[in-house]
């Protein structure tokens, strides 16, 4: 049996499934741990080499389940979390238990089993409403929601485990990731799938506030690439925090205009009251990620919007399993590819 060198927690979720697809496409055998509370095994159905993917249903709060999944691996990509700011506002205790308690469990198992490196999915929500743009990693965090607090706590635990136990680890602060396998389900859906799904259904897109608020949208292929670079860099990692984003600011009104342009028709937009916990503006300084990892975004948000719309169209008409076959991060890597001089991840197969 081939060696499994990578574990992806939350690998049946949005970002995790795209990461699993990229690893499998590169010839790697990958283990996935997911409790399926928000993830779906169907997100992995688009992977051609299914024999390279080992699926384990389990919870990151369960040390035995994490130990079973992590045994023998070299790198853990810790993507599992209860996402969504609004969800955390409604259920802060559950968000803390999963996002903080689960992360400590993953780190503790990793150091006990001698895992070489942990790559932690952190969040730009930690910055909160700091007025300065772009956001730099050395700014004082001002989290506005329980979710943001849990992700910031995860970063601190990553640093502590690196400092006390010598566990190599890094925190990647994601900024507004979007793309295939991000579903528009329920009240906690992210902006882009929610907007696109409404437009496809002929419903009005609800924007919380005036639509002038901005986000640094990052196509999931860029996020996946940053994880692979973090796993493979020869530098010794000691709990560093780096921004992962597109490095551009997009107003929500402009996002709606671009969706309208791609669909080739006018779409309805309705402005409603702002939500508690939402920030006004977001823009990342990605210089540190470039210096430390060689990261640079190679898919613009405009280019990522079309495959996202294709996925959501297929999701509505054919269901999640068929939609998962529409596109993957690995396929887009081949299409767009890194620019000349950009760092490239190459696994040892």
Domain span at residue 239?
4-336
Question: Distance between CA 1 and CA 16 in Å, rounded?
Answer: 24
270: number of Cβ within 10 Å: 10
Catalytic residue among 6, 127, 147, 157: 147
Tokens of 217: 């949208």
Whether 116 maps to a domain, the answer reads yes
Judge contact between 303 and 335, C-beta under 8 A.
Answer: no
Judge contact between 210 and 271, C-beta under 8 A.
Answer: yes
Q: Are strands 53-57 and 177-178 parallel, antiparallel or unpaired?
A: unpaired
- Predicted local confidence at residue 334, as pLDDT: 44
Residue whose tokens read 């802060």: 92
- Predicted local confidence at residue 328, as pLDDT: 55
- Predicted local confidence at residue 1, as pLDDT: 45
The phi, psi pair for 247, rounded to 5°, reads 75, 20
Judge contact between 308 and 180, C-beta under 8 A.
Answer: yes
- The DSSP 8-state label assigned to residue 51 in this structure reads G
Whether 349 maps to a domain, the answer reads no
Whether 38 maps to a domain, the answer reads yes
Strand partners, 341: none
Whether 249 maps to a domain, the answer reads yes
- Predicted local confidence at residue 276, as pLDDT: 78
Helix axes 14-25, 329-336, angle to 10 degrees: 60
Q: Hey, which bits of 131-283 come out as E strands?
A: 168-174, 177-178, 205-208, 214-215, 218-219, 240-244, 250-251, 269-272
- Predicted local confidence at residue 190, as pLDDT: 85
Whether 137 maps to a domain, the answer reads yes
Hey, is 224 helix, strand or coil?
Answer: helix
- The DSSP 8-state label assigned to residue 125 in this structure reads G
Q: Is 147 a catalytic residue?
A: yes
pLDDT tens string, the chain, 349 residues long: the values are 468 899 999 999 999 999 999 999 999 999 999 999 999 999 999 999 999 999 999 999 999 999 999 999 999 999 999 987 788 889 999 999 999 999 999 999 999 999 999 999 999 999 988 889 999 999 999 998 999 999 999 999 999 999 999 999 999 999 999 999 999 976 657 899 999 999 999 999 999 999 999 999 999 999 999 999 999 999 999 999 999 999 999 999 999 999 999 999 999 999 999 887 677 888 999 999 999 999 999 999 999 999 999 999 999 998 888 888 875 544 544 444 444 444 544 554 3
Strand partners, 178: 219
The CATH number assigned to the domain holding 12 equals: 3.40.50.720
Question: Distance between CA 60 and CA 10 in Å, rounded?
Answer: 9
Whether 347 maps to a domain, the answer reads no
> What's the total number of domains in the chain?
1
How far does CA 56 lie from the centroid of its chain? Answer: 20
Q: Are strands 214-215 and 250-251 parallel, antiparallel or unpaired?
A: antiparallel
Whether 345 maps to a domain, the answer reads no
Whether 269 maps to a domain, the answer reads yes
Question: Distance between CA 267 and CA 255 in Å, rounded?
Answer: 12
Judge contact between 60 and 12, C-beta under 8 A.
Answer: no
């Amino acid at each position: 049996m081939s060696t499994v060198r990578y574990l992806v927690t939350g690998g049946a979720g949005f970002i995790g499934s795209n990461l699993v697809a990229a690893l499998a496409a590169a010839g790697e055998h990958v283990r996935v741990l997911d409790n399926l509370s928000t993830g779906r095994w169907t997100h992995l159905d688009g992977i051609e080499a299914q024999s390279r993917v080992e699926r384990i249903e389990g919870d990151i709060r369960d040390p035995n389940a994490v130990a079973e999944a992590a045994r023998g691996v070299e790198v853990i990509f810790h993507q599992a979390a209860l996402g969504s700011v609004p969800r955390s506002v409604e259920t802060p205790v559950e968000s803390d238990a999963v996002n903080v308690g689960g992360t400590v469990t993953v780190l503790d198992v990793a150091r006990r089993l001698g895992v070489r490196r942990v790559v932690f999915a952190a969040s730009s929500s930690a910055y909160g409403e700091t007025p300065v743009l772009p956001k730099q990693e050395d700014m004082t965090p001002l989290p506005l929601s329980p979710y943001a607090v849990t992700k910031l706590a995860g970063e601190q635990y990553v640093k502590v485990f690196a400092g006390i136990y010598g566990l190599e680890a890094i925190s990647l602060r994601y900024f507004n990731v979007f793309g295939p396998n991000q579903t528009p389900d329920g009240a906690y859906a992210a902006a882009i799938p929610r907007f696109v799904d409404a437009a496809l259904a002929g419903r009005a897109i609800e924007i919380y506030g005036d639509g002038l608020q901005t986000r640094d949208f990052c196509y999931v292929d860029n996020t996946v690439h940053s994880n692979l670079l973090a796993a493979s860099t020869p530098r010794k990692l000691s709990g560093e925090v780096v921004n992962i984003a597109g490095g551009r600011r997009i107003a929500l009104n402009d996002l709606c205009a671009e969706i309208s342009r791609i669909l080739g028709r006018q779409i309805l937009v309705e402005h409603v009251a702002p939500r508690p916990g939402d920030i006004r503006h977001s823009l990342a300084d990605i210089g540190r990620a470039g210096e430390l990892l060689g990261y640079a975004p190679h898919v613009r948000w405009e280019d990522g919007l079309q495959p996202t719309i294709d996925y959501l169209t297929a999701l509505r008409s054919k269901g999640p399993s068929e939609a998962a076959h529409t596109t993957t991060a690995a396929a887009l890597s081949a299409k767009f590819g890194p620019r000349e001089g950009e760092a490239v991840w190459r696994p040892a197969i």
